[in-house]
């Protein structure tokens, strides 16, 4: 969301003794300014301001590194349940084993836990790829040679979403079997760009890490499959459910109200928070 700041200048100096002709008034005022050397000062200020504005608009603290992700949002097919999904994930791993197209995919299963409608979705299958090249290479392999595994899919998809993701911070992979992830839909405030928001999140994440926080954070931008009316989805996650709780307490006791935290209130308005447990399936 780009924006331009318009600068308005008003000269209040009066001119006395000239004819009531607008052109003559302007000509004489310019002549007077030139004689006094003021016109060059004004031009110098204008040029300096223009370069300052251009430099400000193009200067950011942090450079995002993007990856791709697919979210398969599903309800279980009739007679199917979580056991069927876990069995399918084992078959899926056998199908992808040894295939270069799936060498770097990170897959997991997310189960709704804290949400406004626990019956709307049964699970979300998440695949994360380093880039579009690998995402679509995997898709080609699945479409070309994956009819058998696709036919065993135990769900009815509600929607399938392809996204770009900017990673803000990562959560170290530990020994925990399950993780926790929260999503919020965010709308940028007037005059704020996604890069402004990314800088603010990165600065907060650095402050949080110094306090012992181990949360992962991302900004997610829908590419296809979503009819969203917001600008991005903000994700907060931890590879450990218990550490998610610990880090939440770190925020309340050490980070709430800090300068880096207050800036987050100025960049966007976020709503529709929903939290899932996460089961890792494959990690590169």
Helix (H) / strand (E) element for 47: namely helix 38-58
Task: Give the pLDDT confidence score for residue 283 in this predicted structure.
Answer: 87
Task: Give the pLDDT confidence score for residue 248 in this predicted structure.
Answer: 97
Residue among 69, 132, 164, 144 nearest 99 (CA): 144
Task: Give the pLDDT confidence score for residue 56 in this predicted structure.
Answer: 43
Find the range with the poorest average confidence among 70-74, 100-104, 223-227, 229-233. 223-227
The CB-side HSE value for 196 (13 A sphere, CA atoms) comes to 18
Whether residue 228 has pLDDT greater than 50: yes
pTM for this model (two decimals):
0.78
| Cβ proximity of 24 and 32 under 8 Å | no
Domain ranges of the chain: 22-58, 66-282
Residue among 70, 76, 68, 79 nearest 111 (CA): 76
At 268, give phi and psi (nearest 5°). -160, 165
d(CA 122, CA 155): 9
Residue among 269, 219, 225, 239 nearest 67 (CA): 219
> How much is the mean pLDDT over the chain?
85
The per-residue pLDDT for range 180-218, each reduced to its tens digit, is 999 999 999 999 999 999 999 999 999 999 999 999 999
Cβ atoms < 10 Å from Cβ of 268: 23
d(CA 141, CA 107): 16
Q: Which residue has the higher pLDDT, 226 or 92?
A: 92
pLDDT band at 68 (very low <50, low <70, confident <90, very high): very high
User: Architecture of domain 66-282 in CATH?
Assistant: 2-Layer Sandwich (3.30)
Task: Give the pLDDT confidence score for residue 139 in this predicted structure.
Answer: 97
Q: What is the mean pLDDT of residues 80-103?
A: 97
The per-residue pLDDT for range 136-189, each reduced to its tens digit, is 999 999 999 999 999 999 999 999 999 999 999 999 877 668 999 999 999 999
Task: Give the pLDDT confidence score for residue 263 in this predicted structure.
Answer: 97
Cβ atoms < 10 Å from Cβ of 264: 16
Task: Give the pLDDT confidence score for residue 40 in this predicted structure.
Answer: 52
Whether residue 124 has pLDDT greater than 60: yes
Instruction: Please name every residue paired with 162 in a beta bridge, in sequence order, or none if there are none.
Output: 70, 224
The per-residue pLDDT for range 22-62, each reduced to its tens digit, is 444 445 554 454 455 555 554 454 444 444 444 445 589 99
Name the pairing type of β-strands 123-129 and 66-76.
Answer: antiparallel
């Amino acid at each position: 969301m780009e924006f331009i700041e318009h600068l308005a200048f008003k000269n209040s100096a009066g001119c006395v003794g000239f004819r009531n002709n607008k052109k003559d008034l302007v000509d004489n005022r310019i002549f007077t300014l030139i004689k006094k050397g003021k016109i060059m000062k004004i031009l110098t200020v204008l040029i300096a301001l223009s370069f300052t504005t251009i430099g400000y608009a193009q200067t950011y603290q942090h450079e995002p590194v993007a990856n791709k992700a697919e979210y398969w949002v599903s309800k279980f097919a009739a007679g199917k349940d979580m056991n069927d999904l876990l069995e399918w994930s084992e078959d899926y791993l056998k199908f992808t084993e040894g295939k270069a197209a799936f060498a770097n995919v990170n897959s997991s299963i997310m189960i709704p836990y804290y949400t406004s409608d626990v019956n709307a979705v049964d699970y979300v299958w998440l695949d994360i790829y380093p880039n579009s090249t690998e995402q679509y290479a995997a898709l080609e392999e699945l479409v070309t040679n994956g009819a058998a595994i696709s036919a065993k899919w135990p769900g009815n998809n509600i929607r399938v979403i392809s996204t770009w993701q900017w990673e803000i911070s990562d959560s170290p992979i530990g020994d925990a079997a399950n993780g926790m992830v929260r999503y919020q839909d965010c709308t940028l405030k007037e005059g704020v760009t996604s890069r402004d928001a990314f800088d603010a999140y990165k600065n907060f994440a650095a402050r949080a890490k110094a306090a012992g926080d181990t949360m992962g954070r991302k900004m997610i931008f829908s590419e296809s499959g979503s009819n969203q009316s917001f600008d991005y989805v903000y994700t907060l996650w931890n590879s450990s459910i218990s550490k998610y709780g610990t880090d939440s307490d770190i925020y309340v006791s050490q980070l709430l109200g800090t300068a880096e935290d207050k800036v987050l209130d100025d960049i966007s308005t976020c709503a529709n928070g929903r939290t899932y447990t996460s089961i890792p399936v494959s990690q590169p």
